[in-house]
Amino acid sequence: MTKAEVQPAERAVLDWLAAQRGAMLSLLVKLVNTDGGSYDKAGVDQVGAHLRGFMEAHGIDCETLPNERFGDVVRATVEGGATSTGANSTILLMGHRDTVFPKGEPSRRPFKIENGRAYGPGVADMKAGLVMNAFVLAAFRQEGGAPVPLVGLFTSDEEIGSPSCRPVIEAEARRARAVFNSEPGRPGNGVVTGRKGGVFLRLQITGKAAHAGANLKDGISAIEELARKVIALHALTDLNRGTTINVGLVSGGQTVNTVAPSASAEIDLRFVAPADRAAAMREIERIVQTSFVPGTSAQLEIAGEFLPLVESPHSQALFDHYVDCGGVLDVPVRGEFTGGCADSGFAAATGAPVVCAVGPVGGRAHSPEEYLEVDTLVPRAQTLALSILRLGARA
Ligand SMILES: [Zn+2]
C-alpha cells in the first residue's frame, strides 16, 4: 500500500492538534490531581466532570449514563459522515477514568514534569489517553465534523474488571467499524494487538477444628488441604501455551494450637485463546473437587473476569491501517502482545476490529514510578486522528 501524503483537509485537523500541546497538559494536570480510585465514585465522577467541562466548551455533545455504585459513564459524540445507525457505523474511542491508587495519592505526589517525563497517579494509565481522546474529538468538532460518527466512552471501573461498564462497552463496540482503546502506548511507539484473558477466582476450603495438642486426630486441616491444592493448581501453568495460574493470596486458620477449620485463596488464571479458558477451568474445578485431605470440602467462585484481545484478521487490518498512518506522520509504530488485561478484550469479543494502547507512551503503570513521555501527546493524537480520517475516506 502506498502512503498518501497528508491532504490539506487532513492537515487542518493535524495542525489544530499540534497547537494544543499546552492545553492538553493543562487538562492532564487537572485529571491527575483529582482522586479517582475505582471505588471512589465521587472522585471518578469529578474526573468525568473535568472532561465534560472541556468537551462541552468545545461544542461536543456529552451525556452521562448514571451508575449508583461506581462512577458514571460519560459518553461523547461528534456527528459526521453518513447518518447510518446500524452496525459498522461508528468509530469508538475508549478510556477508563479510574486508577488503582488510594484516596489522597494526588496530594501526596501531585503532577510534575521532569526531564520530559510527567509523573503522578494515573498519568499514563490512563489520564493522558483520556486527554488525547477528548482533544481528538474536539479536533473534529472544530474542523467541521468527523468523517464518520465518533463516540468517546469515558468509563469508570476498568481496574476492577469493569463490572458496571462492560455492557456499555459491548453495546457501543457492536455498532463500531473500528475501536481504539487509549491505554498507555508502549515505549518505542508500541501499541497492543493482543492481550490475554484473565479470571480472578476465590477458593474457600472447610475442614474441622480440634485442639492441636489434646485431640489432633479429631481435626481436619483446611490449611493442609489448601497447601496441596496450591501445588496442584500451580502445576497447571503451561508457559508455552500461555496459560498461567497464580495463587496470589492465601489465608486460613484460627489459632496456632487449633487444627485449621477453614482456609481460602485467590487465584489468577490467564490464557490466550478462549478455548484455553474452558480447559483450564475444567482442571481447576477437578482440583477444587478433589479432597487431598479426606473430610475437607471446597468451593470456587469467579470474582472478576477479562476477555482476551484475540488477534483477529479484522483487528490485524486495523492495526496495519494505524501503522500506515503513523508512517505518513513519521511515527513508526510497532505492535506487541501482553499478558495484561484491559477493556479492549470485551470490545473485541463482539467482533469489532480493535487496536489497544494507542494512548500517549508511558510506563511503570500501577507504581509510584509511573511516567508519561510528554512529547508523545501530540504525535499519538495525530496518528489516531489520521487513522480516523482515512477510515472515513474508505467508507
Ligand atoms: Zn488502564
- The DSSP string of 127-163 is IHHHHHHHHHHHHHHHTT-BSS-EEEEEES-GGGT-T
Ligand 1 centre from 343 Cα, in Å?
8
Res 87: pLDDT: 55
Task: Report the pLDDT averaged over residues 357-363.
Answer: 98
Query: Is 50 in a helix, a strand, or coil?
Result: helix
Ligand 1 centre from 289 Cα, in Å?
35
Measured CA to CA, the distance from residue 301 to residue 245 in angstroms comes to 15
Which residues have beta carbons under 5 A from ligand 1 (an ion)? 125-126, 183
Ligand 1 centre from 372 Cα, in Å?
13
Res 392: pLDDT: 83
Ligand 1 centre from 57 Cα, in Å?
26
Angle between helices 128-142 and 8-18 (to 10 degrees): 140
Ligand 1 centre from 317 Cα, in Å?
24
Instruction: Write the CA distances from 105 to 39, 118, 120, 160, 361, integer angstroms.
Output: 14, 15, 9, 18, 22
Res 1: pLDDT: 43
Ligand 1 centre from 125 Cα, in Å?
5
Torsion (CA) 184, 186, 188, 190 in degrees, nearest 10: -100
Q: Mean pLDDT in the chain?
A: 95
Q: Which grid cell sits at 190?
A: 508500541
Q: What would the pLDDT profile of 189-243 be if each residue is shown by its tens digit?
A: 999 999 999 999 999 999 999 999 999 999 999 999 999 999 999 999 999 999 9
Task: Report the pLDDT averaged over residues 95-109.
Answer: 97
Residue % of the chain over a pLDDT of 70: 97
Q: Which grid cell sits at 32?
A: 491527575
Measured CA to CA, the distance from residue 249 to residue 229 in angstroms comes to 13
Ligand 1 centre from 84 Cα, in Å?
31
Ligand 1 centre from 126 Cα, in Å?
5
Task: Report the pLDDT averaged over residues 329-342.
Answer: 94
Query: Is 332 in a helix, a strand, or coil?
Result: coil
Ligand 1 centre from 288 Cα, in Å?
32
Q: Which grid cell sits at 167?
A: 455492557
Measured CA to CA, the distance from residue 342 to residue 322 in angstroms comes to 20
Task: Report the pLDDT averaged over residues 337-366.
Answer: 96
**DSSP letter (8 states) at residue 24:** H
What residues contact residue 42 under an 8 Å CB cut-off, 6+ apart? none
The burial class, CB within 10 Å (0-12 / 13-18 / 19+), for 359 is buried
Res 344: pLDDT: 97
Q: What would the pLDDT profile of 124-172 be if each residue is shown by its tens digit?
A: 999 999 999 999 999 999 998 899 999 999 999 999 999 999 999 999 9
Angle between helices 21-32 and 377-394 (to 10 degrees): 110
Ligand 1 centre from 376 Cα, in Å?
17
Residue 84: pLDDT band (50, 70, 90) is low
**DSSP letter (8 states) at residue 375:** G
Question: Is the CB of residue 66 less than 8 Å from the CB of residue 321?
Answer: no
Res 156: pLDDT: 98
Question: Is the CB of residue 134 less than 8 Å from the CB of residue 55?
Answer: yes
| Strand partners for 301 | 202
Ligand 1 centre from 158 Cα, in Å?
7
Ligand 1 centre from 341 Cα, in Å?
9
Instruction: Write the CA distances from 168 to 66, 148, 218, integer angstroms.
Output: 11, 20, 53
Ligand 1 centre from 194 Cα, in Å?
15
Ligand 1 centre from 109 Cα, in Å?
19
Measured CA to CA, the distance from residue 155 to residue 69 in angstroms comes to 13
Ligand 1 centre from 282 Cα, in Å?
30
Ligand 1 centre from 362 Cα, in Å?
11
Ligand 1 centre from 99 Cα, in Å?
8
**DSSP letter (8 states) at residue 8:** H
Ligand 1 centre from 96 Cα, in Å?
7
What's the pTM? 0.90
Measured distance between the N- and C-terminal CA atoms of the chain, rounded to whole angstroms: 17
Ligand 1 centre from 94 Cα, in Å?
11
Radius of gyration of the chain (CA): 24
For residue 234, the surrounding DSSP H or E stretch is helix 222-234
Q: How many CB atoms lie within 10 A of CB 77?
A: 18
Res 83: pLDDT: 53
Q: Which grid cell sits at 122?
A: 494515573
Ligand 1 centre from 54 Cα, in Å?
21
Ligand 1 centre from 9 Cα, in Å?
33
Measured CA to CA, the distance from residue 184 to residue 340 in angstroms comes to 12
Ligand 1 centre from 342 Cα, in Å?
7
Ligand 1 centre from 329 Cα, in Å?
26
